[in-house]
Amino acid sequence: MHWCKNCLNTSTRPRVTFDSKGICNACQWSKEKKKINWLKRQKILKKIFKEKNSSYDCIVPVSGGKDGSYVAYTLKNKFKINPLCVTVRPPLETSLGQQNLKSFINSGFDHIHVTPNHRAMKELDKYGFKYKGIPYYGWLIAVHVAVLNVAVSLGINLIFYAEDGEVEYGGSDATKNKPFYDTKYQKNIYLEGGYENIIKKIKLSNSEKFFFTFPKDDKLKKIKLTHWSYFENWDPYRNYLYAKKYCGLKEQEETNFSTFTNFAQNDQILYTLHTYLMYLKFGFGRATQDAGIEIRRGAMTRSQAINLVKLYDNNYPKDFIPFYLKYYQISEREFNKILDKWANKKLFKKIDGVWQPKFLVK
């Protein structure tokens, strides 16, 4: 296990790569994109906006958080584009998340709120937790699939997701210089493979699985999937400032669990379990991710990041456990057995019932 010489991306991160100097591809990209002709990339937008077949120019998936809010605001106010914003309701949503979404809608956007079948969502989330180590797998599916179903139903042929996380934070470079991607990429990368087998295994009716089932290929031919980060230099902190000023975004009063920031991923409490499992599987958690963003934008030194990661990454989400047990309808013993299954034994050892790292971040 080794760490990026610039940020703290680890060699255990899926699909990350390093150059001969030990610099991860996220840090390489942060320098490379400063030289990109973004105006040239944005000319592509003018062409695709002419292909509009609906009352809306595009769909922007939003949660009420900083990134989707920024994308929707920028499209509407800078590019004079008419977006339809779509939210897939998360499980175990927070009151702050609900408040932020309401504020975003009230700032002047047309919006559809999709609430997939609760039983289906819970079954898929539980299956993902047990067999993929992804505690909100059902919601993750719906974030992609439900949005596609809305697009097909309304004849909207362009979907703008926020950033390409693989390119921005260290992962696959396949889409770095490609404006569009397809559902095959969604299934292999964002849903981490095996989607078809899982959707077949879950015993649900077709109607219950509607918002989790991809539209047929012939209905997807005209739809273009893209990320706004392809067309503009991506800056999460700038997004936060815009969303706060123009869309009514509010942050937590205190820092979020297991990190030093308070303004991102505030819409659901399953995200905390997701990042804890990420830590157990790969040895990096939410603080490492946030620190990498701060280092790459020049707001934090690597030594400062190391101190914060040591302080925050290894936090067992004790206060949230009762919510998780009730949602998954399992005992605490079964819950901990699932955590044990996903803990990387090469990186962690169990002490007094809690997994502790064998490694020292450096």
Contact 82, 183 (CB under 8 A): no
Which pLDDT does position 53 carry in this prediction?
A: 67
Give the mean pLDDT of the chain: 96
pLDDT of 281-318, one tens digit each?
999 999 999 999 999 999 999 999 999 999 999 999 99
CA distance 343 to 277: 8
- Model confidence over 113-125: pLDDT tens digits? 999 999 999 999 9
pLDDT at 253 over 80: yes
CA–CA distances in Å: residue 273 to residues 136, 276, 285, 338, 348: 9, 5, 10, 12, 17
Cβ neighbors of 291 (< 8 A, separation 6 or more) are 7, 8, 260, 300, 305, 308, 309
* Mean pLDDT along residues 34-55: 86
**Res 232 pLDDT > 70:** yes
- Residue 104: pLDDT above 80? yes
Q: How confident is the model at residue 50 (pLDDT cuts 50, 70, 90)?
A: confident
Residues in the chain: 362
pLDDT for res 48: 84
| Per-residue confidence band for 51, with pLDDT thresholds at 50, 70 and 90 | confident
pLDDT grade, residue 271 (50/70/90)?
Answer: very high
Please, which residues have CB within 8 angstroms of residue 348's CB and are 6 or more apart in sequence? Answer: 280, 283, 355, 356, 357, 358
Q: Is 304 exposed, middle or buried (0-12, 13-18, 19+ CB in 10 A)?
A: middle
Tens-digit pLDDT profile for residues 142-172: 999 999 999 999 999 999 999 999 999 999 9
Encode pLDDT of 327-351 as tens digits: 999 999 999 999 999 999 999 999 9
Helix (H, G, I), strand (E, B) or coil at 70: helix
Q: Which domains does the chain possess?
A: 25-33+251-357 (no CATH), 37-236 (3.40.50.620)
More confident residue, 52 or 240: 240
